[in-house]
């Protein structure tokens, strides 16, 4: 309450993992990263036939990280090194993302989320970077605390990320073995690791805020770049 009046709440949906086919879960870091006095964070269940309704309800969505993605969504058979998939989550998130893109609503996609964003927009991904990427790789699945920034990224000039990073380089954390391969129409790659792997994509238009990053900014709590990233997303939702 402010001055005796209830503050109007902006609804930000947060996607959820399915654990052992019985439990929905998301980290508290995902929730706190978008929570402020004017935001109502809402964790979304993975119900594909309700995706359009959720897209109508929310002002924006945080597509969170998690497990591997079903390659059938972009016309491929499973690679031998593909990990465990959760088809219910995949189907819901792709349907939700398509609905958000059609409605021109803000979204921030993290790790698995940037791959879902690419697939929903008509792009695709590497099922397993170490065996499918053509060049030698740096370590993309770090052996360090989640709050540690393990490698550098190069950020494209004139991009939204460059503005938020206040420069053309940054250090980020890394927990993945899949990555965006084909960038969807209407988006551009906006950051890369030194080995050439795409680390971020963003809507080519100035509005709305539709950005996907391969790292986990929600766990970099004292990082100014990450803070500005979430603030820009929330501001677009408002």
Note if the bond before 122 is cis, omega within 30 degrees.
Answer: no
Phi-psi bin for 28: left (phi > 0), alpha (psi -120 to 50), beta? alpha
Handedness of CA 221, 25, 16, 198 (dihedral sign): positive
Contact partners, residue 140, CB within 8 Å, separation at least 6: 129, 174, 176, 177, 179, 193, 197
> Do residues 82 and 71 touch, judged by C-beta distance below 8 A?
yes
Q: Is 74 helix (H, G, I), strand (E, B) or coil?
A: helix
Q: Which residues are part of the catalytic machinery?
A: 111, 216, 218
- Is residue 28 within a helix (H) or strand (E), and if so which, with residue range? helix 28-34
Contact partners, residue 50, CB within 8 Å, separation at least 6: none
Q: Which residues of 51-84 are buried (b: 16+ CB within 10 A; e: fewer)?
A: beebbeebbbbbbbbbebbbbebbeeeeeeebee
Distance CA 70, CA 150 (A): 28
Structure tokens of 133? 């990427």
């Amino acid at each position: 309450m402010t001055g005796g009046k209830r503050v109007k709440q902006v609804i930000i949906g947060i996607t959820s993992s399915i654990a052992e086919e019985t439990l929905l879960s998301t980290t508290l870091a995902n929730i706190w990263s978008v929570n402020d006095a004017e935001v109502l964070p809402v964790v979304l269940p993975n119900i594909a036939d309700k995706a359009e309704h959720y897209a109508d309800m929310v002002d924006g969505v945080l597509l969170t990280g998690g497990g591997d993605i079903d390659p059938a969504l972009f016309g491929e058979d499973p690679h031998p090194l593909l990990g465990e998939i959760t088809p219910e989550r995949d189907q819901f998130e792709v349907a939700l993302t398509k609905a958000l893109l059609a409605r021109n609503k803000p979204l921030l996609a993290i790790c698995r989320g940037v791959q879902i964003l690419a697939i929903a927009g008509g792009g695709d991904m590497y099922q397993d970077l170490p065996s499918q990427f053509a060049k030698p790789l740096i370590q993309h699945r770090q052996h360090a605390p989640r709050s540690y920034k393990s490698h550098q990224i190069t950020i494209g000039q004139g991009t939204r990320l460059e503005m938020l990073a206040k420069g053309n380089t940054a250090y980020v954390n890394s927990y993945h073995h899949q990555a965006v391969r084909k960038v969807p129409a209407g988006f551009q790659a906006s950051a890369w690791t030194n080995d050439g792997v795409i680390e971020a994509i963003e809507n080519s238009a100035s509005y709305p805020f539709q950005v996907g990053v391969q790292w986990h900014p929600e766990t970099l709590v004292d990082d100014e770049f990450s803070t500005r990233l979430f603030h820009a997303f929330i501001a677009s939702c408002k």
